[in-house]
Structure 1
Amino acid sequence: MSSHFGNPLNEQRLLLEGKAYVERQDEVVLELTGPTTLAWLHSMTSQNLINLKPGDSAESLVLSPTGHIEHQLKVIATDVGALVITAAAHSEALVSWLSSMRFRHKIEIKVLDKRVFGCFKELDGRCWIDRFGFDPVGSVRYAAEAKLFGYREYVLDAAPTDLQPAGMLAYEALRIAAGRPEISDIDERTLPHELDWLATGVHLSKGCYRGQETVSKVHNLGHPPRRLIQLNLEVGDTLAAKGESVYHRDREVGKILAGGLHFEDGSIALALVSRVTPFGDLTVANLSASQTVVVPPDAGKVANLPRPSAFKLSGKK
């Protein structure tokens, strides 16, 4: 996987201008075929997929029974089922799980010998449209505003000949600037609420699916225990490393999820910190970093109801 082709900052500009592509060698394409494919995926994952028409696309998540993120699915509806773009590192586990969940459904699953190319331009071919910069449909965004992010991914046999190649460093910096989470950001405890992933990955009005109870409880009655922030490091050419600790004064409050050098904003990063982390500057690798809130501390608890434990402690019914 190419990190850059000589000048990652210029590659960012070319990507945004629709003059370049990034090959997503970190992703694979699954083909799911069968008359009940979309209904089957709809029943197991977090997004409303059942009404997609051929050519439509959506993002969905596979959650654990306790609501933690396991897989990201970029779904493109087809005439015979769906294409699913997913992380190569998790694909074997995903195929195994999907295969085990077929039961009486006549669903065929195979890995296609296709390539995935991301860009900010409309091309010919089967396309997944990233709606992270759009207003949520059937869900909610915790961030105060959506940042423009007109990203798309195409399933093709070969690279677009009319565009220049860009590396993953360019894409990473652009998605960090937009506050866009990726599956590479998760750990075993990550809830979609913490990364503001409800906005595109979860439909809050759909029927039962694995992990739905946690999604509903955190959003309606509680708060995400951690929250996503953006950081801007004071030294503009120092890259924050994934897994690096984030401090408030001398107390560790979180970890870096991804770092990048942006052609306008300098050294930027996404970090996941404790919900109660104070506003204001933080420290990464002994460098001061200004904090921009993505998921606010008061995210969630939208239902004006006491928690079940409050009933128990007070003795009220």
Structure 2
Amino acid sequence: MKSKKSIIDNAINTLQLEAQAILDLIQHINDDFVEIINLIHESNGRVIVTGIGKSAIIAQKIVATFNSTGTPSVFMHAADAVHGDLGMIQKNDIVICISKSGNTPEIKVLAPLLKQSGNIMIGMVGQINSDLALQADYVLNTSVEKEACPHNLAPTTSTTAQLAMGDALAVCLLHARNFNENDFARFHPGGSLGKRLYLKAADIALKNEKPRIHPTASVKDVIIEISQNRLGTVVVIENDTIIGIITDGDIRRMLEKHSNLADITARDLMSKNPKSIDKEILAVQALELIKNHNITQLLVTDNGSYFGIIHLHDLLQEGII
């Protein structure tokens, strides 16, 4: 069994090597990189990203990032390309071919075929004198000093460099397209990321009941209203105006202080000036308000009028938290 120190040292060494490899990429952000960004941004086609082995896995991640940030992209496995998948490449598409060595058999076969098609070919490559680099129209240099693998064999540092270069491309294209939060929400309608960007307070409040009670209501009526609606709270309304809120915690505290409940009304129990949020505000902002004030329920209003209630559990159920 390896010692604790040995394991920690190996982990730190790996991270240091990979971090340095990313920093070393800075010197390769050159005129080719700028031209690539402009070409992709102005293109009417898609970006086809291809590779083999571990580079193919990185290519799939880059494609996913491109697509989610507004750059239409398709993954093409280099081995499958020469067995029919070249047919997916259209006239205006730009191809990014990823390879550490740039000299694998599949890449050597694929590169000239891509050149023949007339598409712009970008080589993301770790060897600038390789077959791929020499045939590419533009080169993204992702060379690394050494792999984190102690035998300098398993792609580790090199794939980290490829991944980081792909992210640099995606983020630059994102800025070029003025891709904003609304665009991101459009491309991510599912999952917690999308919900944080488009789900509004009204969307959640509409799923809940709207417990309400008059300020003269008895304690019994307050308890019944809270229990029936299962939100742990009831809003006190007078002349269609919110004047307070009563939570189940308020009920418990009242029972601790009073034995005679006959003369106690909702007005006596309520907390004035309850925290609220407009129905058009994002649910994620409702969460921040709940957290900042250490509460579990939040009123939702429509131009100041009572619209509904959001409970902390609603936000948890929606995946906002």
Shorter-chain TM band: under 0.3
TM-score by length of 1: 0.18
Query: Quick check: which has more Rg, 1 or 2?
Result: 2
TM-score by length of 2: 0.18
Higher RCO structure, 1 or 2 (CA under 8 Å, sep 6+): 1
Higher share of residues assigned strand: 1
